[in-house]
């Protein structure tokens, strides 16, 4: 079946603009995660959705970042008033139930460049 998809694959924007990044998880997966990877670095956790529970937003770096997940499926990560330090690859992952020991399946990522 289809894996996790993300769009766009690349996004170039100007400082101060808002951007929206989209993630389509694997069908039937109840958990969805967003991570950020800066150049040459590991992944930084941003936010986690699990079913109908309130999302875990503990990794969001500032109030310019927000995410929502509609209908328990597609998720959108929004960055308002982008800054150059927001430039990174944004990765989305989904897993079947989101608990301990569950495997996360990653999308190809969106490379965001803020000029």
Partner 1 sequence: SQQGEEDPQALSIQEGENATMNCSYKTSINNLQWYRQNSGRGLVHLILIRSNEREKHSGRLRVTLDTSKKSSSLLITASRAADTASYFCATEDSWGKLQFGAGTQVVVTP
Q: How many residues bind partner 1 (CB under 8 A)?
A: 29
Q: How far apart are the first and last CA of the chain?
A: 37
| 100 scored as a contact of partner 1 (CB under 8 A) | yes
Q: Is position 52 an interface residue for partner 1 (rule: CB under 8 A)?
A: no
* Tokens 């996004």, located at residue: 11
What distance in Å separates the CA atoms of residue 10 and residue 102, rounded to the nearest whole number? 29
> DSSP secondary-structure letter at 86?
G
Say whether residue 98 binds partner 1 (CB under 8 A).
yes
22 counts as binding partner 1 under rule CB under 8 A: no
Distance of CA 32 to the CA centre of its chain: 8
Structural Rg of the chain based on CA atoms: 13
Q: Are 11 and 113 in contact (CB under 8 A)?
A: yes
Whole-number minimum distance, CB 81 to partner 1, in Å?
A: 25
Distance in Å, CB of 74 to partner 1, minimum: 18
Contact between 103 and partner 1 per CB under 8 A: yes
Name the token pair of 35: 């991570």
Residue 16 CB, shortest distance to partner 1, in Å, is 26
Which of residues 25 and 98 has its CB atom nearest to partner 1 in the complex?
Answer: 98
Binding site for partner 1 (CB under 8 A): 4, 31, 33, 35, 37, 40-45, 48, 56, 89, 91, 93, 95, 98-109
């Amino acid at each position: 079946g289809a894996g996790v998809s993300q769009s766009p694959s690349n996004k170039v924007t100007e400082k101060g603009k808002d951007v929206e990044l989209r993630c389509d998880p694997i069908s039937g997966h109840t958990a969805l995660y967003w991570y950020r990877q800066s150049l040459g670095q590991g992944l930084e956790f941003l936010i986690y959705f699990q079913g109908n529970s309130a999302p875990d937003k503990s990794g969001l770096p500032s109030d310019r970042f927000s995410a929502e997940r509609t209908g328990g499926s597609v998720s959108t990560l929004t960055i308002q008033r982008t800054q150059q330090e927001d430039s990174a690859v944004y990765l989305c992952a989904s897993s079947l139930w989101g608990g301990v020991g569950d495997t996360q399946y990653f999308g190809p990522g969106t490379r965001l460049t803020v000029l």
